[in-house]
Chain A
Amino acid sequence: MAEMDTSSGGGHKKGPGVKKGKKLSTRVDLTPMVDLGFLLITFFVFTTTMSQSTAMNMNEPKDDPDSQLKVKNSGAMTILLGKGNQVYYYYGQLEAATASEQFKSTTFKGIRALILEKKNGTPIDDLMYIIKSDDQSTFKNAIDILDEMTISAVPPGHYAEVTMESVEKMLLRETEKANGIQ
């Protein structure tokens, strides 16, 4: 009753009208299923470890006008962040006569080499990077430049964020116009 007829032909024959059921193996080839299983494992393992949020430390200075840091002109490099991921920079202090020559533009790709060049060419005690962000620059720019400082191993305390002065803002606008940055 509950048995399956597994005997091959030759045994007792059924009636002439009864069709003989074809004998099928109950074994399934599991290879593709194993493949699929491991494929899914690999997928999950990769996707879970890849996206990890990290946290970057920020140390803001106290706004204390009495403890303003004096920066040597020879050791200062001012980095200005503008519209469209553009970076502008100058060394020392802006002189009215030569301002347009001092004021140079670059990108985030180029700034790394310039930071490093300044760092290697300046005694570490004099070194100071002054970062100024324009209102048109993005949050990403502000984080990226701080990250550049970490990448170039500039010690903390040798860079600071300062608000932009109107002269610099004007120069920045002019340079943007000249370079056709929208």
Chain B
Amino acid sequence: MPKVKIPRKSTIVDMTAMCDVAFLLLTFFILATKQKPPEVLAVKTPTSVSSKAAPDKSILITLTKEGKVFLMLGDETKKADIINDINTTRNLQLSPSELNRLIKKEEFIGMPLNKLKSMLASSVIIPATAMEGIPIDSTNNELTYWLRSVTNVYAGGDQRKLQEMLLIKGDGQALYPIFKNIKKALKDNELFKFRIVTEGENVPVGSELYKTGKKAEH
């Protein structure tokens, strides 16, 4: 009987294909994930058990650690209208080029109304971190005027849509009175429903909410 020869096979597997797949997936994930826009204002939000995702398009009131208040008008279609509205209602006397700069270039609005013109007229670009913030004392609450322009522009439209867009993003370290003044500015404009941006958190095990098993709705 002739011996049956078993051919000796190499144990080395060709890794090229696997490598290709790995990097293809990697490329896909990198390209598919939407990059978070770099945060100009560093804000560390508190946590909550709410599971609703924050909308992208929003009217965002940012409250920084130092207690400065900024406004960001994320709805590009209405931004120009809102800024034009406050220009006329508060008699800011901004020139068309200054208005254009405020609408197109400035992402955050964070200047007292009386300093807005000089800031927009100068060629120096002030980063949001160096801005003063919108005055929000109980005596001079300028956020009320901004929000009034917002409500003026959205008047007649879908109010629910506006409610969904109104966001407050605050730093956990900011003091309560400023938050209270923001709420007051909203309430003065009949805006009673708004949302707070928070970092997601799991429902604590054993709590009432955990037992009912339903997701947080508030």
Contact = CB atoms under 8 A, between A and B. Distances in A.
Interface of A: 29-31, 33-34, 37-38, 40-41, 44-45, 48, 51-63, 81, 112, 116, 119, 133-144, 146-147, 149-153, 156
A44 B26 contact: yes
A112 B207 contact: yes
Contacts of B201: 147
A116 to B, nearest CB: 7
B198 A143 contact: yes
Contacts of A139: 46, 63, 170-176, 178-179
Contacts of A45: 29
B46 to A, nearest CB: 4
Interface in B153-176: 167-168, 170-176
A65 B20 CA distance: 70
A142 B45 CA distance: 12
Interface of B: 15-16, 18-19, 22-23, 25-26, 29-30, 33, 36, 45-55, 63, 167-168, 170-180, 183, 186-187, 192-201, 203-204, 207-209, 212, 216-218
B165 to A, nearest CB: 10
A56 B15 contact: no
B33 A54 contact: no
Given A62-B187, A136-B175, 18 more contacts: A33-B15, A33-B22, A45-B29, A53-B198, A54-B198, A55-B167, A56-B198, A57-B193, A58-B196, A63-B187, A119-B208, A133-B176, A135-B176, A135-B177, A138-B174, A139-B174, A147-B47, A152-B209
A168 to B, nearest CB: 15
B51 A54 contact: yes
A147 to B, nearest CB: 5
A152 B26 CA distance: 42
B48 A147 contact: yes
6 contacts: A33-B15, A51-B199, A53-B54, A57-B193, A58-B193, A61-B192
Given A41-B22, A45-B29, A139-B170, A150 B50 contact: yes
B160 to A, nearest CB: 12
Contacts of A33: 15, 19, 22
B181 to A, nearest CB: 11
A63 to B, nearest CB: 7
B193 A44 contact: no
Nearest to A155: B218
A110 B197 CA distance: 25
A53 B197 contact: yes
A54 B171 CA distance: 14
A134 B176 contact: yes
B183 A150 contact: no
Contacts of A143: 46, 48, 170, 172, 196, 198
A179 to B, nearest CB: 20
Contact of A56 (B178, B196, B212): B196
